Structure 1
Amino acid sequence: MERIRELLDDAVAGIEPSIGDPVGAVVRRGRARRRRQVLATTLAVVLAGGGLVAAQRLVGHGTPAPTAEEQATEPPTPYVDGDVVVAGSMRIPIPAGWRVITPDSGKPCGPEARTIVIFKVDSNEPNCIGALEVHPTRNRNPSGYLVQFPSAATGGMDVLTTPVSFTLPGGEPAWLIEGLDSEGMQPLPTAPGRSFYETISVPWSMMTLVLREEGKVARQRLESIRTGPASGGALVLPRTAVVAEMTVQGATTAESRANFGFTKEPKKIGDALKLLRRQQRVVDDDAACANGAQRTVRLEFSPSAPPSIVVSSPPPKEELQEWRAKMEIEAGKRTTVVISLGGDCQEAVSSFGGRVRLSDGAVNDLKRLFGLSR
């Protein structure tokens, strides 16, 4: 088993530092143990109640909701427009004195300070590193760390941590792998010149951003982005799925076995999708409020089981590349729903589009379907 794990790690190793692993996970177990074993979050959501009600709307029942299978599979191509980079619905300001480059395959171009690097779709240019990287991607799912639990607890699966929610100005949802205020994103007097690494999934724009700046600067960078999302409305979900997973961020730890549920039962998967489709309180862009102070829930619906790999001894490089290609294709088909927990700002966002307000009762019903609540 350990040998297989090493092979899988090798298969995805070439993807970082560009965009992380093809299934949306940045597999850096040492760093995960050091920086994400305990993620204490403060559930502090302060909203003006009167404005929130007016900004919610109910979805009509005359038109069938779109499905994930009907959505675009190819991301837009980022480009420079004056002093901004346009990437999907995002308009990313180019700071004064910065330059924008595209990687020339095979030629090193990093690490580059004060540089924005625009990549091609799902490209892997490990020699090209910028302070801000823009990656078009078919994989709309949030990144995460892999947390290992005993195989008996999860059926031999690693559990992917839940993302940190962030609402970009204008309403586009974003999912971070690391809290901007976390220890790993802070400068340390004992480690001058330490490197920072933040991965931001922007699912509706089909983009992944990589920021290599400390948390305070990274926050300013994200808050300077302007968006005009076009993927609101009810949750866009798959017609069905073969595998479904639910991971709930704990109150005092990032993830634990007690907060992870997994099912292949068609009825349970169907019931979960029906429950989510019934949520009709749409959150408009100007009322979106998901933020990093909230705990989150990760729901994943996969149309097929993860592709297997036939291991030779020693395994040819082509074999590992084939497995990685399969994983990238499958990741693009998977649907993730992230629920940001907490009071009047309890939102559910689908990676394929749609954002709705979710009640505590609906969250508890989902937990029961996955065996996480009675």
Structure 2
Amino acid sequence: MKKLFYLLFGLVLILLLQSCTSRVEAPAPSPALDSEAPPAISEWLKSSASNVNPGKTITLGFSQLGSESAWRLANTASVQDAAAESGIRLIMRNAEQSQSKQFEALRSFIEMKVDVIAIAPVVESGWEDILLEIKQAGIPVVILDRSVDVKDSSLFVTTIGSNLYEEGVRAGKYLLDLMRSQPGPIRIAELQGTKGSTPSIQRGEGFRSIIKARKDMVITQSAPADFTEEKGREVMRTFLEVPEDERPQVLFAHNDDMALGAIESIEEAGLRPGVDIIVISVDGSRKALQQLAAGKVNAVVECNPLLGPQLMQTAKEIMAGRTLPKRMVPPEDVFTQERAAQEISKRKF
């Protein structure tokens, strides 16, 4: 009897356990770590990854031509400040007015595999070979401030900087208007910048294209003064070592620093700059506008050095694969004595 009881009890217990087990859900199997996602999900992941900005820091190699003037120092500071603000890594090399040093810097940028190269060229000529090296390395190039004379314009992406020819044109137009009632002959002295540089070539050409309208306006003296105050002072001193009837009545200086040096030499000679000799300059530095307000300079054609923000934006556009215009020119002005005082406080260099 006891055996029968234990047998029945065992059968009931087995039935109860099976019933309970049938109500428990089996756990979902864990996917293997190396298993592939279903095709639809895999494609979605690839699509999403292609739209994600990896946040790569852009490295910009910048070959600055020198530190010869207040304009150049302001240009350098603008590039440095804009790079810091935009999060771009800047590697800058100062060529100290040497094209060979620029070539050395550019080859070092190639070795570093920078993302973009910017060049402020010392002179216009001699760039074909080095730019071809950079192109073959797959690095895009931006020309800053000046120009390069190359047959193949695909060697660089774009140029950022002033219309230097137009600056010479504006200087010439100002002089024609100022001297419209002055009988000739009118003798003009010209302080050029670095020989063979874009500003020296184009500002001179633009100026001459306008003054040729008057045959009695003649450039009687012209010499390079390297865009520096010291050389401007030195060359102007030699310009004034002539008989009085050969002395220039007008000075056209290709930048402010040379004009400021020349003013000192004019005063040393017992003459009044801005009165005995008309002084026209290019750049728009604070010091030049102060002399403009004091009546020692008659006009200053603006050349904007603050190109840093535009350069950084250009680097970002290039890295994003966007198409850019071949030339980008910032807005600029002409400052006269009447406007000088109100403009001085606005100058950043």
| Both structures adopt the same fold (TM-score exceeding 0.5) | no
Calculate the TM-score normalised by the size of structure 2: 0.22
More helix by share: 2
Greater relative CO (CA pairs within 8 A, separation 6+): 1
Q: Which has the larger radius of gyration?
A: 2
Calculate the TM-score normalised by the size of structure 1: 0.21
